[in-house]
């Protein structure tokens, strides 16, 4: 019996060690994050990589704050918000750059951005939606005090619009496609603010050493998935469509507004002193200060780390 108990303890020990080395990566539903799941589907990961879906950006951010995730797919403005609350990260990968995929959808009678004056606008205040709305209003010269803000989770965008609880919704794919089917029109998209909405893979600074193999593996898996999309678009879009609950045609169209930087572009964005991505980060932080989205005294130790990019062939 003692020997049996000893063996059980040994098994539990190694089980806990294995679990501790799992890399948990959090995401929300967004076309730019889908290659993480595709890499899992095509068995591109060699290490224990767990890609976890969260219903909303708010829940994802909370999970990252609580350190129930080692890594997360986030926008730069979300990382700035995390940094303001004392959460410092390394950015190890640029996933996508929005070039029209983040949008404001409105009732047909609104027609354009000026039509938002006096309207009810639904937005998730803690996520990229708040930044998209702020910049859209700024670009079109509209005072935010002239619209009526309604805070909603991104998973409720379609229901909020259908139930007539909002006149416009700040959203993105696949909710954009769903709202088009409900008769909404697009009155703003991120092509009007090029290069400002960037999604990256962020990791807690404290896990860089303990999970170095897993971080390299998830990065390699990402680029294998991008190659698979290029080489096998039919099966790739079919898999992504099944996850996003849209048609394969709609999946393909959703990538028209997204740039997925390849390895070469990632090296450019994450290298140099300062790296181009850090310059973008600083400009974004200044804008958020100017619009009272973060404290005027904000400063951040957020850094980029290109050591986990695969070696060029």
pLDDT value of residue 19: 42
pLDDT value of residue 2: 43
Dig out the tokens for 28 from the structure.
């929300």
Whether residues 73 and 144 share a domain: the answer is no
Question: Would residue 309 count as lying in a domain?
Answer: no
pLDDT value of residue 168: 96
pLDDT tens-digit series, residues 258-307: 999 999 999 999 999 889 999 999 988 888 888 888 888 888 878 999 99
pLDDT value of residue 155: 67
Whether residues 87 and 124 share a domain: the answer is no
Q: What is the CATH number of the domain that holds 170?
A: 3.40.190.10
Domain end point (choices 192, 209, 241): 192
Q: Which residues of the chain are under the pLDDT cut of 70?
A: 1-20, 126-127, 154-155, 312-313
pLDDT value of residue 126: 64
Question: Would residue 180 count as lying in a domain?
Answer: yes
pLDDT tens-digit series, residues 46-58: 999 999 999 988 8
pLDDT value of residue 69: 97
Whether residues 114 and 36 share a domain: the answer is no
pLDDT value of residue 38: 98
Domain end point (choices 167, 192, 217): 192
Domain end point (choices 192, 221, 247): 192
Count: domains in the chain: 2
pLDDT value of residue 57: 87
pLDDT value of residue 13: 40
Question: Would residue 310 count as lying in a domain?
Answer: no
pLDDT value of residue 312: 63
Whether residues 92 and 207 share a domain: the answer is yes
Which residues constitute the domain of residue 55?
2-97+196-304
Instruction: Give the predicted TM-score (pTM) of the model.
Output: 0.83
Question: Would residue 156 count as lying in a domain?
Answer: yes
Question: Would residue 188 count as lying in a domain?
Answer: yes
Whether residues 217 and 239 share a domain: the answer is yes
Question: Would residue 117 count as lying in a domain?
Answer: yes
Whether residues 22 and 164 share a domain: the answer is no
Whether residues 56 and 11 share a domain: the answer is yes
Dig out the tokens for 294 from the structure.
């973060």
pLDDT value of residue 39: 98
């Amino acid at each position: 019996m003692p020997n049996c108990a000893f063996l059980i303890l040994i098994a539990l020990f190694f089980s806990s060690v294995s679990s501790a080395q799992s890399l948990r990566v959090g995401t929300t539903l967004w076309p730019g994050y889908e290659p993480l799941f595709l890499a899992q589907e095509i068995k591109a990961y060699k290490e224990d990589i767990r890609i976890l879906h969260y219903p909303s950006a708010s829940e994802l951010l909370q999970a990252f704050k609580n350190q129930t995730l080692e890594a997360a797919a986030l926008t730069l403005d979300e990382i700035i918000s995390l940094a303001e609350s004392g959460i410092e990260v390394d950015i190890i990968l640029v996933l996508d750059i929005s070039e029209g995929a983040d949008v404001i959808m409105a009732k047909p009678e609104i027609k354009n951005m000026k039509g938002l004056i006096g309207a009810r606008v639904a937005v998730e205040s803690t996520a990229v939606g708040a930044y998209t709305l702020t910049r859209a209003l700024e670009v079109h010269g509209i005072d935010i005090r002239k619209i009526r803000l309604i805070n909603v989770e991104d998973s409720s965008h379609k229901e909020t619009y259908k139930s007539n609880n909002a006149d416009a919704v700040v959203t993105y794919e696949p909710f954009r496609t769903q709202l088009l089917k409900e008769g909404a029109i697009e009155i703003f998209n991120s092509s009007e603010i090029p290069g400002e909405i960037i999604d990256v893979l962020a990791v807690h600074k404290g896990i860089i050493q303990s999970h170095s193999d897993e971080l390299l593996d998830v990065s390699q898996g990402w680029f294998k998935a991008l190659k698979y999309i290029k080489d096998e678009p039919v099966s790739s879009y079919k898999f992504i469509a099944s996850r996003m609950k849209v048609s394969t045609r709609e999946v393909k169209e959703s990538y028209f507004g997204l740039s997925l930087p390849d390895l070469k572009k990632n090296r450019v964005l994450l290298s140099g002193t300062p790296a181009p991505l850090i310059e973008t980060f600083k400009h974004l932080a200044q804008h958020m200060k100017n619009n009272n989205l973060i404290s005027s005294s904000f400063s951040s130790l957020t850094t980029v780390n290109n050591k986990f990019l695969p070696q060029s062939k």
